Amino acid sequence: MRVAVYYHNEDVRVEERPVPAIGPGEMLVRVMASGICGSDVMEWYRRRKAPVVLGHEIAGDVVEVGAGVEAYREGQRVFVSHHIPCNTCRLCLRGCHTACETLHTTNYDPGGFAEYLRVPALNVDRGVFPLPEGMSYEEGVFIEPLACVVRGQRLAGFQPGWSVLVLGSGISGMLHILLARAQGAGLIMATDVNPFRLSLAEGLGGAVVRAAGGDTAAWVREVNGGRLADLVVVCAGVLSAFEEALRCVERGGVVLCFATTGPDEKLSVPLNEFWRNEIKLMPSYGNAPLDAVVAMDLIRHRRVDVLPLITHRLPLERIQEGFRLVAGGGPSLKVVIEPHGRPDS
């Protein structure tokens, strides 16, 4: 089978590997669609693991099930989670599923940028979700990224009527905008350095937008009736965006650190101001199975319409082009790789 092996952002090679053999409790899935995530192009994070087959936003078909697998059958259309929690440790029992050690050490083999992948038994047990009738493979690609957004806004305690500021209007930022709108946000504001992304945020998400830079806090007050934002979501992985978020959050509000910085970056927080004004700083990473179920329902019922976010559909042999589009921040949003060509649904 063909796989795309990541060496660095400018070196992603299509190579040949054997189709993985499955064991008891496992599953073989034909990958029909696989999205390139912004985290896939974070070189400081990915390069240390190279060479590696990336890809974790996948939808496809079950082509073989191992002994003992009874819940799924050959031919089923599925979304498969790459990281799954144990659901039994003290962290999972406290609701901190994405801090679970099992979640951080599970994955499928080899990765989503391949024609086929092996789903380990633990992932089969709690990380496989049949696609609802009428949901396309392309929509299935969005279950994982939207699930992460669902978890982030849930942890932030989002309430209908809140004003929301999204710093960074890439795919994660757009999903935050769409989910906030679906959940009854008041005013939604967004910034980005890319005019193409801002136009999508305004047109598809109904956000009030501006180019990043300058006095964002003053702009927020101007368009939000003199108030700062109840929820500020940081979707840009640069320290200046986090510093800007601290200046833009209203009293009693929340700064949701959805993106991350490089490993050596430090954020200086005005503790006294936050203490006096009940401001919360909330990081969020990944998602748990419940979040995936919620995301799937939001997509299925078109509460969050994800298909307009796809700007490029590429075959596996053009994956290098896809990585350049995502890493370069050009006129693209979601790039979907189709290892077996364009699926019918």
In DSSP terms, 130 is beta-bridged to: 78
Task: Indicate the number of domains in the chain.
Answer: 2
Q: What is the pLDDT of residue 47?
A: 85
Q: What is the pLDDT of residue 341?
A: 86
CB burial class (10 A; 0-12, 13-18, 19+) of residue 50?
middle
**Last residue in a domain, options 283, 305, 321:** 283
- The answer to whether residues 245 and 112 belong to one domain is no
- The answer to whether residues 117 and 138 belong to one domain is yes
- Residue 322's SS3 state is helix
Cα(43)–Cα(210) distance, rounded to whole angstroms? 28
Cα(273)–Cα(289) distance, rounded to whole angstroms? 36
Distances, alpha carbon 198 to alpha carbons 102, 174, 177, 249, in Å: 38, 9, 11, 21
- The answer to whether residues 231 and 315 belong to one domain is no
Cα(145)–Cα(309) distance, rounded to whole angstroms? 12
- The answer to whether residues 37 and 13 belong to one domain is yes
CB-CB contact of 61 with 29 (8 Å): yes
Residue 345 — very low, low, confident or very high, per pLDDT cuts 50/70/90? very low
pLDDT digits (tens, 9 = 90+) for 43-81: 988 988 899 999 999 999 999 999 999 999 999 999 999
Distances, alpha carbon 80 to alpha carbons 16, 37, 138, 256, 339, in Å: 23, 15, 13, 26, 16
| Amino acid in the structure at residue 252 | G
**Last residue in a domain, options 283, 300, 315:** 283
Boundaries of domain holding 265: 157-283
pLDDT digits (tens, 9 = 90+) for 254-299: 999 999 998 899 999 999 989 999 999 999 999 999 999 999 999 9
Task: Name which of 34, 33, 3, 30 is nearest 16 in CA terms.
Answer: 3
CB-CB contact of 296 with 130 (8 Å): no
| 312: its two tokens | 């490029």
- The answer to whether residues 112 and 181 belong to one domain is no
Q: What is the pTM of this model?
A: 0.97
- The answer to whether residues 126 and 213 belong to one domain is no
| First CA to last CA distance, the chain | 22
Cα(164)–Cα(235) distance, rounded to whole angstroms? 13
Cα(324)–Cα(189) distance, rounded to whole angstroms? 28
- The answer to whether residues 268 and 299 belong to one domain is no
Cα(227)–Cα(77) distance, rounded to whole angstroms? 47
Q: How many residues does the chain have?
A: 345
Give Cα 135 distance to the centre of its chain: 18
- The answer to whether residues 235 and 298 belong to one domain is no
Q: Are strands 334-338 and 310-315 parallel, antiparallel or unpaired?
A: parallel
- Read off the CATH number of the domain in which 125 is found: 3.90.180.10
- The answer to whether residues 131 and 29 belong to one domain is yes
- Read off the CATH number of the domain in which 223 is found: 3.40.50.720
Distances, alpha carbon 234 to alpha carbons 107, 246, 282, in Å: 27, 10, 10
CB-CB contact of 22 with 28 (8 Å): yes
Neighbours of 59 (CB within 10 A): 29
Q: What is the pLDDT of residue 236?
A: 96
pLDDT digits (tens, 9 = 90+) for 194-246: 999 999 999 999 999 999 999 999 999 999 999 999 999 999 999 999 999 99
Q: What is the pLDDT of residue 330?
A: 81
Any domain includes 148: no
Task: Name which of 306, 313, 320, 310 is nearest 338 in CA terms.
Answer: 313
Give Cα 172 distance to the centre of its chain: 6
Cα(205)–Cα(341) distance, rounded to whole angstroms? 30
Average pLDDT for 11-30: 98
Any domain includes 345: no
